[in-house]
Structure 1
Amino acid sequence: MWAWLLALVGIVIIAVLAFYAGRMLGQLRRQNTRQQELITKRNERLHESIVTIAKAMEQDQCPLSEGALRIVVLLDHRVDQEKLDYAAKYPALHDMYERIKHMPTHEARKQYPKTEIKKLDKEREGYEKELAEVILNDVRQLLRDFA
């Protein structure tokens, strides 16, 4: 008699644990699906911004240095299934980024003396002239890749 009672209690415990595990698995699947949806939406927004900036650069509506800064940062924020090496794929954009990333922008720029800002602007403009052709090649390739 006790053996049947213990077996029944064991079966009930196993059934409750199986039910609980099933609920947890379902919750995990829903959570993973939701997370993937959020990543996809974020990547779509990043994709749209990257294409917009690249088109503006190609049409000379955005300085090459500013566009390179923005695009490199946006590419770094993408979440890809396989981590792509954007620095190798778009070397000129990354070269410009590396050359000017130390330069102040926005509010930080206002803290510098005007002579220093003019010096930095001249340096940046020199980089733009030097790298213009290869940056535009990268931009065109990026637009083909992201089309």
Structure 2
Amino acid sequence: MLIWISLIIGVLVVAGLSVYAGVLLSRLRQQNRGIAKNQKKRLNYLHESIETIAKAMQQDQCPLSEGCIRIAVLLDNLPQAERHNFTERWPSIHEMYERIKHMPTHEARKEFPKKEIRKMDLERERFEVELEQPIKDDLQTLVIWVKEERVKQR
């Protein structure tokens, strides 16, 4: 009799643990789907932002220097950025970024004397003239790449 009671209790414990494991597994799958959905959404946002900025730069609606800073940062935020070798793929965009990333923006500009700000602006404008055509060439291949990546994502 004691054996039967122990066997029934054992079966009930195993059944209870199985149900609990099933509930946990279901929650894990749901959580993983949510994570994948959010990652896809973020990736789409990054690609869309890169494409929008690149097209604005091509149409002279965005200064090349500002666009290069924004695009370089967005590219660095893409998953597996190192693997894609963005610096080598679009060297002019990254060269502009490297040349001007030290320059203050927004509120930080107000902390510098106007003479110093003007000097930095002239330097930045000189870089824009010097790198204009190579950057525009990079933008063409960048826009094509982003469109291809967005198609892959679907």
Scaled by the length of structure 2, the TM-score of the pair is: 0.87
Tell me the CA shift for residue 79 of structure 1: 3.2
**Paired position in structure 2 for 1:121:** 121
Moved over 6 A (4+): none
**Paired position in structure 2 for 1:26:** 26
Q: Deviations over 1:31-60 (max 9, x none)?
A: 111111111112222222111110111112
Aligned identity (percent) is: 50
Counterpart residue identity of residue 101, structure 2: K
Counterpart-to-counterpart distance in 1, 2:140 and 2:99? 21
Q: 2:72·2:94 contact (CA, 8 Å) conserved in 1?
A: yes
Counterpart-to-counterpart distance in 2, 1:33 and 1:135? 39
**Paired position in structure 1 for 2:15:** 15
**Paired position in structure 1 for 2:58:** 58
Q: Deviations over 1:104-131 (max 9, x none)?
A: 0011111111111011111111211222
Counterpart-to-counterpart distance in 1, 2:83 and 2:26? 28
Q: 1:39·1:79 contact (CA, 8 Å) conserved in 2?
A: no
**Paired position in structure 1 for 2:139:** 139
- In structure 2, the CA distance between the partners of 1:82 and 1:111, relative to structure 1 (3 Å rule), is closer
Tell me the CA shift for residue 15 of structure 1: 1.2
Counterpart residue identity of residue 37, structure 2: E
Which deviates more, 116-125 or 88-97? 88-97
Q: Which runs of 5+ in 1 are unaligned?
A: none
Q: Which has the higher helix share?
A: 2
Q: 1:109·1:117 contact (CA, 8 Å) conserved in 2?
A: yes
**Paired position in structure 2 for 1:71:** 71
**Paired position in structure 2 for 1:91:** 91
- In structure 2, the CA distance between the partners of 1:119 and 1:84, relative to structure 1 (3 Å rule), is same
Counterpart-to-counterpart distance in 1, 2:25 and 2:50? 37
Which deviates more, 65-74 or 39-48? 39-48
Cα RMSD over matched residues?
1.8
**1:102-121 matches, cutoff 5 A:** 102-121=102-121
Which deviates more, 81-90 or 105-114? 81-90
Counterpart-to-counterpart distance in 1, 2:61 and 2:130? 18
Q: 1:72·1:93 contact (CA, 8 Å) conserved in 2?
A: yes
Which deviates more, 28-37 or 73-82? 73-82
